[in-house]
Structure 1
Amino acid sequence: MRARGATVKARPTAPLPVASLVIGKPVEEAAELLPRLFNLCRTAQDIAARMAFGLPLTETPKEDLTREILRDHLLKFCVTWPGFFGGRPQPIPQISGSDTAVVRAALFGPLGSLPEEPGDFAMFLASGSPITQVLHEIRTDFGPGEACAADLTAATRQNVFGAAALENSVAARQAHRPVMRHIEEEFGRGPLWRATARLYDAQDCLTGRLQDVAIVAPGRAVVPAARGLYAISAEIEDGHVKNFRRITPTDHLLAPGGVLDQSLANLPREKADLAGLVLDILDPCMPVSLMEVDDA
């Protein structure tokens, strides 16, 4: 039986000492090593590393990155999130070249696109498709202000290398949309806001509107990824990595007082059993354990 007054705290695992693993290595070897160290966002890591190290990219870097991000979004909506509500996993639509009709139909229904106005979005949620059912369940589980974070500064190419807690997420790059602003006003920056952002981000992947990769300064590269902005800064000397720093969306998510801390602090005690869903929606790219603390 759950303890009365129990709150949920997060305990991340110790991060891998990535810098010490790549410093001193030839740039080609270091660029090949990074995606092997982590199972997630391998394409984003490869592109960012090669850009920061001054190495050539594949012929289709943006297309490769878009497919990776879209696959991640589809996995959440079709497989991972339905399981939290007792639903069956849905087949992940096949992503095949420029033919996006199957993916669009699976995500957006007969219209093939998402509504841009809040009133139309409400009707979209009522359509009863497996995808909209996931959003409906999330909206039902979390009331206004629950599992929400404050309006933190959004991560940009200019500030992503800073140490402060930022809103470095898919929601940050979709926050300008009228539907996203409406959800934020009604529910706050919580699970529904973040889950809906993934759907709009998937649409941007399908329409070629995903944010571009960029070199922001010599040795500094910023790449959109499935969780937010991924960044690498490096100093190269005689073809070897002299200095290295890697910034992921999870670094900002787990920062003291950041989105994860705030979201769990704003999760009602009687809904502590939903902490796993909150964590999955926030989606850190490293293991994070949750523990209940009896503060009665």
Structure 2
Amino acid sequence: MSGALRIKVHARDGLAVAVEIDSPRVDPSAVFIGRTPEEAAVLASRLFSLCPSAQSIATRAATGLPSQPNETLALLCEKLTELLRASLLDWPGAAPAPDDIATLRDALSLLRRAPDAAALRDALARLAPFFARQHAEAAEDDDAMRLSPRRADFLTPDDDVLVIDALWSDRTFCRAPALPGRRVETGIAARRGLAHGGLAARVTARRAEMLDTVAAMTNLCDGGAAPDLVSRGAGYAAVDSARGRLYHACKLDASGRISDYRMVAPTEWNFHPDGPFARLIAGARIGAGADAKRRVERLAFAFDPCIKAEAEILELPHA
């Protein structure tokens, strides 16, 4: 699961003409074959360094194991952990100040224990200056790139059966998932219905998502209704993880062991070679040199890959 998402942008006169996306991510499904559901669920929590709770919960649900106590709270804590960590440490722009890093460490420590909603809200408030700088940088890049508005097509629970059918019919589907006639997106933009979002709008939505996650945690701890984050079907599960809709599908043999397993992660939808990120960056005025590289990497950040994105700008000769 190491390495970086490689994005090659072919540009001419500062305009992105074509995009190539190469992901080093591997499909780990085969490691579950021959294991019991209980063994697979434990393995999933150890195998994935990012979103281990979502992966383990998806494995439990797909293999038919019952849900566990505090499952929803674990997903909410993991979502906030991932959004906070990536927002401060993975943003290709102004580095967070030492006080920001200290606040991040405090928040992550809280999320590993019983979450304190008031303390988490205070941490987000203390990080407001960093988020303001981040938004200002994003707005400057929006002005420069002049992204063409494209109405988003979001992955929803209504698509679950189609996705699972595609997973079983094509083993390579997990590498470049696509639904017929569509280029779907999943993640924050999908959850918030961000139909035409550029970079600044996506950064704003990310912070709003963090605040709403704390509110959901507060409501849940106060005895309120739990948000519906896990969908279960016959031999499959879909989990609304930090980065979007995560799918696992499983078949068991007569002895109750796993005979086949498939999964598809949110990153593969958003960074499909002809997916939502590629379509948005195509035609953008990215500029040249370090500015162009930074703008592409910032836009990739806004689509929230599971791994760091690194851009390479290849200048084409004049037409």
1:101 corresponds to 2:111: no
Letter in 2 for 1:275: V
1:260 corresponds to 2:277: yes
1:31 corresponds to 2:41: yes
Distance across 2 between alignment mates of 1:53 and 1:37: 17
1:151 corresponds to 2:151: yes
Q: For residues 223-242 of structure 1, what are the structure 2 equivalents within 5 Å? A: 223-237=239-253, 238-242=255-259
Identical aligned residues as a percent = 25
Equivalent pair of 1:68/1:226 in contact (CA under 8 Å): yes
Alignment match of 2:292 (pick from 254, 272, 293):
272
> Which residue in the other structure is 2:206 paired with?
198
Q: Would the alpha carbon gap of residues 108 and 144 (structure 1) be closer, same or farther in structure 2, given more than 3 Å must change?
A: farther
> Which residue in the other structure is 1:130 paired with?
130
Distance across 2 between alignment mates of 1:254 and 1:64: 27
1:167 corresponds to 2:176: no
Q: Would the alpha carbon gap of residues 149 and 261 (structure 1) be closer, same or farther in structure 2, given more than 3 Å must change?
A: farther
CA RMSD of the aligned region, Å? 2.9
- Determine helix, strand or coil for the equivalent of 1:158: helix
Letter in 2 for 1:16: V
Equivalent pair of 1:13/1:286 in contact (CA under 8 Å): no
Distance across 2 between alignment mates of 1:21 and 1:287: 24
- Give the TM-score normalised by structure 1: 0.78
> Which residue in the other structure is 1:88 paired with?
97
Give the number of equivalent residue pairs: 267
> Which residue in the other structure is 2:197 paired with?
189
- Determine helix, strand or coil for the equivalent of 2:159: coil
Q: Would the alpha carbon gap of residues 87 and 108 (structure 1) be closer, same or farther in structure 2, given more than 3 Å must change?
A: closer
- Determine helix, strand or coil for the equivalent of 1:269: coil
**What displacement does 1:38 show?**
2.5
Equivalent pair of 1:148/1:191 in contact (CA under 8 Å): no
- Determine helix, strand or coil for the equivalent of 1:129: helix
Distance across 2 between alignment mates of 1:226 and 1:266: 29
Equivalent pair of 1:35/1:43 in contact (CA under 8 Å): yes
Distance across 2 between alignment mates of 1:27 and 1:167: 30
Q: Would the alpha carbon gap of residues 103 and 223 (structure 1) be closer, same or farther in structure 2, given more than 3 Å must change?
A: same
Letter in 2 for 1:272: A
Equivalent pair of 2:41/2:60 in contact (CA under 8 Å): yes
Equivalent pair of 2:230/2:240 in contact (CA under 8 Å): no
- Give the TM-score normalised by structure 2: 0.73
Structure 1: tracts of 5 or more residues without a match: 111-127
**What displacement does 1:43 show?**
0.7
Q: Would the alpha carbon gap of residues 235 and 26 (structure 1) be closer, same or farther in structure 2, given more than 3 Å must change?
A: same
Q: For residues 114-129 of structure 1, what are the structure 2 equivalents within 5 Å? A: 129=129
Q: Would the alpha carbon gap of residues 13 and 129 (structure 1) be closer, same or farther in structure 2, given more than 3 Å must change?
A: closer
